[in-house]
């Protein structure tokens, strides 16, 4: 579109507002957590050795709300609110799930109670219009062997898929929150990748197309909240985000990717490699930005069920624990997982937005080789 002006500064302002408010709220929230005994005492499966206050998610929620309010005051971003009530639904679901997380951080709720809270939060998203309604499939386009088409989902199918994705992402971020700064950093990387993809869609679809405004705004405020929280949470952490924060991060990521991927209108009947990538681009980005936490979640479920344990039973076999076992320090293990997530997430975004996929695939391949070598350094030295 000639003369297209993307609201980049407005998104940055909303994100920075979220970051600053989160950063400033951490201090008072930390004092409150200590007074009300919302403290993580060291356990056998934990890495930290000193009692550390939780409830960092309260500060992150405050930052997200501040970023949303700032966006509402900006005419360039008002379309995200005028187009639908999705932002309101995310706010209500986020507050609900953060309260459940706060109670769990203080009183250690059972897994069923938390699952009910997660499903309820997903239901709130659905009530406000955030729901998958379409899904790309590799058949039915009428254009040859690799012809693609869009499968329209019925109401029940869309609701079920939305609930499954939301619960999976919420628990994935909760499971990965085991090292100082890990969940906050992965949340920020995933949000930045999601936001970059949504802004790329804005540049292609046109400034006045509202379909990408909501996920871009959600990604901006979430990345800001994670950025504002990281200085307090990176090793050695002064506060943990707790379930109130990790579940909030997972919920907003689920909302952003559902808004971006679940209803994206993409031409059907394509058969070329580039067209196939374009059709599956939203799903590729969704899979890549959450690859590390979801992989950790799936491995934990398989590992625990094979032992006859509950999938929610805690252990010390997560990906970050394995990196520590082979000789990495806490900081190096966290940075390596950042690197894994960054290569996959931003590689997927580049694959979706750049016309020549071969260049991107080569770059991602080189990046993965570097990450594998960096991860194996302690074993190589040991030999």
- CA nearest 11: which of 205, 186, 189, 222? 222
pLDDT at 222: 96
DSSP state of 153: P
Residues 95, 257 contacting (CB under 8 angstroms): no
* b/e per residue 202-213 (b: at least 16 CB within 10 A): beeeeeeeebbb
Q: Please give the share of the chain, as a percent, with pLDDT higher than 90.
A: 30
H helices present in 39-176, as ranges: 56-72, 79-82, 86-107, 111-127, 155-176
- Report whether pLDDT(138) > 50: yes
Residues 73-115 have pLDDT tens digits of 998 888 788 878 899 999 999 999 999 999 998 888 888 999 9
- Look at 265 and 238; give whichever has higher pLDDT: 238
- Look at 88 and 328; give whichever has higher pLDDT: 88
Point out which residues pair with 137 in neighbouring strands.
149
- CA nearest 125: which of 282, 221, 262? 262
**Number of residues in the chain:** 383
Give the helix/strand (H/E) hosting 346.
helix 330-353
Residues 360, 350 contacting (CB under 8 angstroms): yes
Of 8-12, 21-25, 233-237, 327-331, minimum mean pLDDT range: 327-331
Residues 24-37 have pLDDT tens digits of 999 999 999 999 98
First to last CA, the chain: 58
Mean pLDDT computed over every residue of the chain: 79
**pTM exceeds 0.95, yes or no:** no
Q: Please give the share of the chain, as a percent, with pLDDT higher than 70.
A: 72
Strand residue runs (E) in the chain: 39-40, 52-53, 134-137, 149-152
DSSP state of 324: H
* b/e per residue 120-148 (b: at least 16 CB within 10 A): ebbbbbbebbbbbbbebeeeebeeeeebb
Torsion sign (Cα): 333, 339, 342, 348: negative
pLDDT at 267: 45
**What mean pLDDT do residues 251-270 have?**
68
Residues 98, 57 contacting (CB under 8 angstroms): yes
pLDDT at 261: 65
Residues 202-242 have pLDDT tens digits of 776 655 666 678 888 999 999 999 999 999 998 788 899 98
Cα 275–276–282 angle (5° rounding)?
100
């Amino acid at each position: 579109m000639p003369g297209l002006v993307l609201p980049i500064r407005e998104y940055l302002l909303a994100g920075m507002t979220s970051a600053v408010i989160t950063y400033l709220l951490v201090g008072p929230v930390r004092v409150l957590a200590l007074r009300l005994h919302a403290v993580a005492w060291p356990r056998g499966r934990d890495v930290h050795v000193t009692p550390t206050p939780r409830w960092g998610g309260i500060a992150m929620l405050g930052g997200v709300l501040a970023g949303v309010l700032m966006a509402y005051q900006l005419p360039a971003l008002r379309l995200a609110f005028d187009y639908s009530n999705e932002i309101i639904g995310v706010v209500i679901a986020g507050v609900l799930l953060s309260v459940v997380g706060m109670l769990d951080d203080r009183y250690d709720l059972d897994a069923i109670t938390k699952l009910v809270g997660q499903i309820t939060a997903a239901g709130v998203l659905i009530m406000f219009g955030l729901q998958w309604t379409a899904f790309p499939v590799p058949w039915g386009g009428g254009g040859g062997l690799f012809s693609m088409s869009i499968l329209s989902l019925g109401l029940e199918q869309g609701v079920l898929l939305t609930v499954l994705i939301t619960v999976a992402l919420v628990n994935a971020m909760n499971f990965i929150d085991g090292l100082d700064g890990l969940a906050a950093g992965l949340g920020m990387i995933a949000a930045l990748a999601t936001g970059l993809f949504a802004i790329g869609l804005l540049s292609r679809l046109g400034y006045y197309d509202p379909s990408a405004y909501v996920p871009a705004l959600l990604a901006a405020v979430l990345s800001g909240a994670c950025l504002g929280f990281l200085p307090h949470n990176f090793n050695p952490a002064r506060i943990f985000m707790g379930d109130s924060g990790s579940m909030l991060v997972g919920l907003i990521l689920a909302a952003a990717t559902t808004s971006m991927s679940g209803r994206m209108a993409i031409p059907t009947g394509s058969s070329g490699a580039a067209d196939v990538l374009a059709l599956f681009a939203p799903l590729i980005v969704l899979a890549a930005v959450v690859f590390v936490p979801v992989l950790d979640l799936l491995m934990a479920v398989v590992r625990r069920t094979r032992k006859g344990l509950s999938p929610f039973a805690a252990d010390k076999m997560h990906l970050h624990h394995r990196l520590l076992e082979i000789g990495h320090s806490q900081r190096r293990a966290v940075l390596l997982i950042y690197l894994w997530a960054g290569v996959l997430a931003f590689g997927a975004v580049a694959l979706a937005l750049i016309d020549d996929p071969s260049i991107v695939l080569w770059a991602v391949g080189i990046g993965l080789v570097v990450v594998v070598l960096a991860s194996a350094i302690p074993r190589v030295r040991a030999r």
